[in-house]
Amino acid sequence: MAASISLTQSFRLRDPLVAAHPFRLASPFRFGRSFPLFRNLGSRSPSASMSVQAPKKSPDVEFLDRRESGILHFVKYQGLGNDFILVDNRNSSEPKVTPEQAVKLCDRNIGVGADGVIFVLPGVSDTDYTMRIFNSDGSEPEMCGNGIRCLARFITELENLHGMQSFRIHTGAGLIVPEIQSDGKVKVDMGQPILHAPDIPTTIPANKDGSVIKAELVVDGISWNVTCVSMGNPHCVTFGSKKCEALHVDDIKLEDIGPKFEHHEMFPSRTNTEFVQVISRSHLKMRVWERGAGATLACGTGACAVVVAAVLEGHTERHCIVELPGGPLEIEWREEDNHVYMTGPAEVVFYGYVPL
């Protein structure tokens, strides 16, 4: 698989190897040769921050408009380290990439490398656009919180929009409304959390008004206290086990325990799992095992589910900072409309193209 990439302004990857070898590892492509699409570098030497002068107009509208047969043009975005391949799919209601091709594209050794592939499709009914996503394992989730922030920023680039903007996005989880803020962050109305057990879905017996709140779930011989929430996709949130009620999330062996939660028989559609440490009434720390993607640096819907669960269990107030491995998200579960609002960054990593 051959590929080309172009660096953009504010290129900030957290891998220390990138700083040591900025051009060789500027993308997950590893082909042992130089990339022909580096642009806007001029005569400047690469700095530790990898900041590159950007064009005055929207960086790569012309690049994105190219339509070579058999070539997929994309932009890679990241939100708190949760990274995605964004594809302009506005001219068709069918994704340009199959789930099998998405698996190859997301492979970090022989592909682009990402947690998922996101498509901007035409809107339906009264929505502006439709969002679909294939996970790195080829499965299709209902929605992705970090992904929809990246999608909103991608749309502003595709449409050459500036300033504060908002969009009505149709997703598998229903209508989602992201809004570009004046500081460049994206605030998303994530809608109302779903707490009715069969709708999450989970077969854990409901223990409070049809909901699963601090219920017992046995995983690999250990009894965990779990609260189940759907943000359009299923989440199992735990603040600790029966033996150890207060988690220290850095001690969790996520690769061992995460898959056992994801594929537990009590979750007929599998589940995302969040392990949470309470720092204060307004500060939570979490690690996540995502359904279909594994351990990731951030999960927007997971952070929303965590705050809902924390409020229901009495750990926090309704407005919290949720600290993820990739950085913080601001989450608010408003009492007046029962909607959850998420605010966080979304940034371009690079532009590229790859033959399908």
Residue 304, φ and ψ in degrees, nearest 5: -65, -45
299 a catalytic residue = yes
> Which residue out of 144, 228, 236, 320 is catalytically annotated?
144
Are the beta carbons of 50 and 7 closer than 8 angstroms? Answer: yes
Q: Which residues 6+ apart lie within 8 Å of 252 measured at CB?
A: 275, 287
144 a catalytic residue = yes
Containing 236, the helix (H) or strand (E) segment is strand 234-241
> Which residue out of 106, 299, 304, 320 is catalytically annotated?
299
Are the beta carbons of 1 and 354 closer than 8 angstroms? Answer: yes
Are the beta carbons of 32 and 41 closer than 8 angstroms? Answer: no
Ranges of beta strands (E only) in 4-115 are 4-7, 71-79, 82-88
**Is residue 301 packed enough to be buried (19+ CB in 10 Å), middle (13-18) or exposed (0-12)?**
buried
- Determine the Cα–Cα distance for residues 116 and 190; give it in Å rounded to an integer: 20
Q: Which residues are catalytic?
A: 144, 299
